[in-house]
Structure 1
Amino acid sequence: MERTHNKKSLKERRKHLRNNGTSAEATLWRLISNKKLAGRKFRRQHSVENYILDFYCPSEKLAIELDGERHFTELGLMEDEKRDQRLLQLGITVLRFENDDVFKATNAVLEKIASQFNHP
């Protein structure tokens, strides 16, 4: 049976993305890593099928995506919709934030993430 999560074929790509992330990703990671947000463990650049998620909380089946300019093109919006629908079919909820939100509305971003947790 083929792996669904963290396929070996995507390992180098995940590593590259972790080491070359955006400043918004680095900032959010500092705020949610090491169980800093309500004791939840998050992973960076976690893959599900052929999709690489910016952040993933396995206990909540929650993906967090930080979107830059390319996500707001017609093609980017269509690809994101297809991706989000597939992840939802797999039972994974996707939250999307603009990169700027991490800097300009940090508390709102963290509150929105925490609001998706199933239990305190």
Structure 2
Amino acid sequence: MNRRPRRDPEAISFARDQRARGNEFARDVWQMLRNRRCRNQKFRREYAIPPYTVDFCCVALKLIVEVDGEPHQTNEGRQHDQRRDRYLAERGYHVVRVLGYEVLRNAVAVRRRIEQVIDERIEGRAPSSPALLPRSESEHHSLSPRGRREPE
């Protein structure tokens, strides 16, 4: 008998609340990912991986997409994200972080980057963790697909 482990009811309740209160950026990314719209991969929204709840998760690829708003830009927020990413990586997950404002500025680039990481996961190449999207063209430096700073 192949039964799934029981999910924590508290975590499920929290995830449902998060889905109801999701921000505009997360809603836009969800429209990219839902119903297998991105490389025919199934993503779940506000998926509980106790003790955390992630924005979007493709369970089959162990791929997480996190949409980072203002709270993630503080020192405390970045430290929390690092601890969380480390925890998730230890469990085999790969985290792609998307800056919220970048979703509005350049949704095409956001989608391309997510598709690139999906392709890498499918092909068995593990991208460096966590993956960061390139910064906007208006900034002086961009991040390479591997997350390293490069002058433009």
Say whether the fold is shared (TM-score over 0.5): yes
Cα distance change of structure 1 residues 82 and 105 upon mapping to structure 2, 3 Å threshold? same
Return the alpha-carbon distance in structure 1 between the equivalents of residues 122 and 76 of structure 2: 36
- Greater fraction of residues in helix: 1
CA shift for structure 1 position 6: 4.6
Return the alpha-carbon distance in structure 1 between the equivalents of residues 73 and 104 of structure 2: 19
Q: Give the corresponding residue for 1:80.
A: 81
**Percent identity between the aligned chains?**
27
Return the alpha-carbon distance in structure 1 between the equivalents of residues 85 and 79 of structure 2: 10
Name stretches of at least 5 consecutive residues in structure 2 with no aligned partner. Answer: 124-152
Q: Deviations over 1:66-97 (max 9, x none)?
A: 01111111111100000000100000000101
Return the alpha-carbon distance in structure 2 between the equivalents of residues 13 and 77 of structure 1: 22
CA shift for structure 1 position 50: 0.8
1:119 and 2:122 are equivalent in the alignment: yes
Whether the 8 Å contact between 1:55 and 1:65 is mirrored in structure 2 is yes
Q: Deviations over 1:8-59 (max 9, x none)?
A: 2212111110001001111111111000111000000001121100000011
Whether the 8 Å contact between 2:15 and 2:53 is mirrored in structure 1 is yes
Letter in 2 for 1:109: V
Q: With a CA cutoff of 8 Å and minimum separation of 6, indicate the structure with the bigger relative contact order.
A: 1
Whether the 8 Å contact between 2:68 and 2:99 is mirrored in structure 1 is yes
Whether the 8 Å contact between 2:11 and 2:50 is mirrored in structure 1 is no
The alignment of Structure 1 onto Structure 2 pairs a total of residues equal to 117
Q: Give the corresponding residue for 2:39.
A: 38
CA shift for structure 1 position 119: 2.9
Q: Give the corresponding residue for 1:94.
A: 95
Q: What TM-score do you get using the length of structure 2 for normalisation?
A: 0.73
Q: Give the corresponding residue for 1:68.
A: 69
Whether the 8 Å contact between 2:43 and 2:58 is mirrored in structure 1 is yes
Return the alpha-carbon distance in structure 1 between the equivalents of residues 7 and 112 of structure 2: 28
CA RMSD of superposed structures (Å): 1.5
Moved over 3 A (4+): none
Return the alpha-carbon distance in structure 2 between the equivalents of residues 55 and 49 of structure 1: 14
Q: What SS is found at the alignment partner of 1:64?
A: strand
